Structure 1
Amino acid sequence: MKHLVSINQLSAEQIIRILDRAALFEKNPNQRLLEGKVVATLFFEPSTRTRLSFETAVNRLSGRVIGFSDAATSSSSKGESLKDTISMVANYADVIVMRHFLEGAALYASELDRVPIVNAGDGANQHPSQTLLDLYSIRKTQGQLEGRTIALVGDLKYGRTVHSLIVGMAHFCPRFIFVSPPELRMPEECKDFCRQHDIPFTETSDFSPEVIQGVDILYMTRVQRERFVDLEEYERVKNVYVLNREMLTGCRDNLRILHPLPRVGEIALDVDDTPQAYYIQQAQNGLYTRQSILCEVLGIEP
């Protein structure tokens, strides 16, 4: 696998291989596997966890990092095309990790076929490295991926993490509950994907105790202000669902709460010290998963 552009391109066997390798890195994250390699991180859109975990992954594997975290500091601010940016950076790097605000940007960059491209998020489309760390977190907390019931809550219209998670879990017989306001419901193409792959799902706007008590994974998302053209619409829906500690009463013992972060108020602070809260560890798992991804596209085994 030269490029990681979409979770759709991965078979169940490839997913398990990446997760198994990530588990090895969790036991021993500091190795010299990328010694002599240069990884470029090109972030045309703001990021904290994704960028820092990729850069930490490179550093802990003894590689080097170049790139930018603000497109305003790059030649794209002067009007340079994405094609030229990728072509130039490929002269200096062995891998390019990129986040872009345009859907399809990572696919376009991969089609130039200069060096491996890892998609770190393209608009509201895909975020495959986040999906893989989510799958790693689900498997680690549940003991298996198969047969999990997962509630996806919040911004299901623009949330690239939930779109990708549906595809990634499709190999493992999941059941989904989609919880969102009508304005942010799951896109039809994602529901059609579930129907085509015989994945059972229900859709509701009611974030009820029955939802929380009936799932293994509660996947919370923030309402993404940056995706809204109409800010009045954002104001109407931004705080529609807030999870607090009291709402976890009667939940399953194995319930874990995931969130791609950052949170903006959809998980109250009193949830943080509950046994169900797993979003901080989930972010830490991103380090090991991204180490595995970099080795995957470079054909390196630990």
Structure 2
Amino acid sequence: MPKHLVSIKDIDRSFIEEVLKLAEKMEDNPDEYSERMKKKILATIFFEPSTRTRLSFESAMLRLGGKVLGFSDPNTSSVKKGESIADTIRMAACYADVIVMRHNLEGSGRVAAEFSSVPVISGGTGVQEHPTQALLDIYTIYKEFGRLDNLTIGLLGDLRYGRTIPSLLYAFMKFNNIKVKLYSPKQLRARMTVLSDVEGKLDFEILDNLEDTISELDVLYVTRIQKERFPDEGDYERLKGAFEIDTTLMSKTKMDMILMHPLPRVGEIAYEVDDLPQARYFQQAKNGVWTRMALLEILAGEES
């Protein structure tokens, strides 16, 4: 059992399945778990903006009967005075039983885990990874199909800077016969370091045209172009609007295909698509509560 969750690479299939099974139980009978963390405190330490990750972790802890403290603007903390990540985490561990941290620097999650005396969960680390987003995405897929093997999954969008993409690829390679199709502008293809990590362990192909193969997909996962990650704003301006999922394109999919997006969306999915039976992105966001409740219970509950 891991003490921290910093990377999907640190966990195995059995741990993922444990999280999914507990999340399912919590969703089916939330009252049974409403006091599991009543003596526990969660610290949310967010150095970058967040809506879904921070609020769903806070909702998860409150639903488990626990309490929450933290900050969502580092300018209101001693980081503004020059305090290091290590010291910030040491202090948070004095006041809380579990920490969720989001930071823009790659490797910051590892630093936090090294210096924390309590479990650390990554809420996203630069462009590196977003492990809990991947887990809630997998839970969404599992709920829909009842399995995580024998699926064809398309990833569309900013595969270079979207931190969920590496976590998803690392998770998919733990299951059997998952085929992944990677669609993106050439400038936004998945990083070679990530593809090297999954080479030989995951069946994937890099494609330019979604329309030609969309009918083969069980899942289409769309990501926004990450404006805040671009070193040159001019490059972003040239690439924004490079793709959009609309009802015409969706008419070419399987009827039981599901459309996912980690949100926020910025023009990648037309609003008219929201009413289609394949749209799952709002349910996907809600699933973050159950998945994160399960993680908190497993890593920081009374029996952890």
Q: Considering the TM-score relative to the shorter chain, is it more than 0.5?
A: yes
What does residue 159 of structure 1 align with? Answer: 162
**Range that drifts further, 287-296 or 250-259:** 250-259
Matches within 5 A, 1:22-171: 22-30=23-31, 31-171=34-174
Aligned residue type for 2:195: K
Residue 181 of structure 1: aligned partner: 185
Equivalent residue, structure 1, for 2:7: 6
Once the two structures are TM-superposed, the CA of residue 301 in structure 1 deviates from its matched residue by: 6.1
* Contact preservation (8 Å) 1:37, 1:63: yes
Question: Equivalent residue for 2:22?
Answer: 21
Q: Could you tell me whether the CA contact under 8 Å between 1:151 and 1:211 is conserved in 2? A: no
Q: 2:221 aligns with which of 199, 219, 222?
A: 219
Deviation of 1:88 after TM superposition, in Å, equals 1.1
Deviations 1:65-116 (A, max 9, x none): 0000111111101111111111111111000110001011111110114111
**Contact preservation (8 Å) 1:124, 1:159:** yes
Q: Is 1:150–1:177's contact at 8 Å kept on the other side of the alignment?
A: yes
- In structure 2, the residue corresponding to 1:114 is in which secondary structure? coil
Aligned to 1:252: 254
Aligned partners of 1:189, 1:137: CA distance in 2, in Å? 27
Question: Conserved in 1, the CA contact under 8 Å of 2:159 and 2:165?
Answer: yes
- Alpha-carbon distance between aligned partners in 1 of 2:86 and 2:172, rounded to the nearest angstrom: 33
Q: Which runs of 4+ in 1 moved over 4 A?
A: 299-302
Distance 2:226 2:269 in 1: 15
Aligned mates of 2:302, 2:142 — CA distance in 1: 24
**Contiguous gaps of at least 5 residues in structure 2:** none
State whether residues 90 and 114 of structure 1, in contact with CA within 8 Å, keep that contact through their aligned partners in structure 2.
yes
**2:147 maps to amino acid:** Q
Corresponding residue for 1:281? 283
CA-CA distance at 1:119 after TM superposition: 0.4
Output one character per residue of 1:152-192: Cα deviation in whole Å (capped at 9) or x when no partner. Answer: 00000011101100111111121011100011011112222
Secondary structure of residue in 2 paired with 1:262 = coil
1:195 to 199, 203, 218: 199
SS in structure 1 at match of 2:278 = coil
Change (3 A) 1:301 1:258: farther
1:65 is paired with a residue whose SS is: strand
Structure 2: how far apart are the matches of 1:96 and 1:204? 39
Name the CA distance, whole Å, in 2 between partners of 1:110 and 1:250. Answer: 45
TM-score (normalised: structure 1): 0.97
Q: Residue 149 of structure 1 contacts residue 176 of structure 1 at CA under 8 Å; is this kept in 2?
A: yes
SS for the counterpart of 1:67 is: strand
How many residues end up aligned between the 2 structures? 300
TM-score by length of 2: 0.96
Partner Cα distance (1:301, 1:82) in 2: 29
Q: How far apart, in 1, do the equivalents of 2:295 and 2:170 lie?
A: 18
Distance in 1 separating the partners of 2:53 and 2:29 = 20
Q: Is the 8 A contact 2:129 2:165 kept in 1?
A: no
The SS at the match of 1:152 is strand
What code does the residue aligned with 1:62 have? G
1:233 to 227, 232, 235: 235
Question: What CA distance in whole angstroms lies between the structure 2 residues aligned with 1:89 and 1:163?
Answer: 28
Unaligned runs of 5+ in 1: none
CA contact (8 A) 2:7 2:130 kept: yes
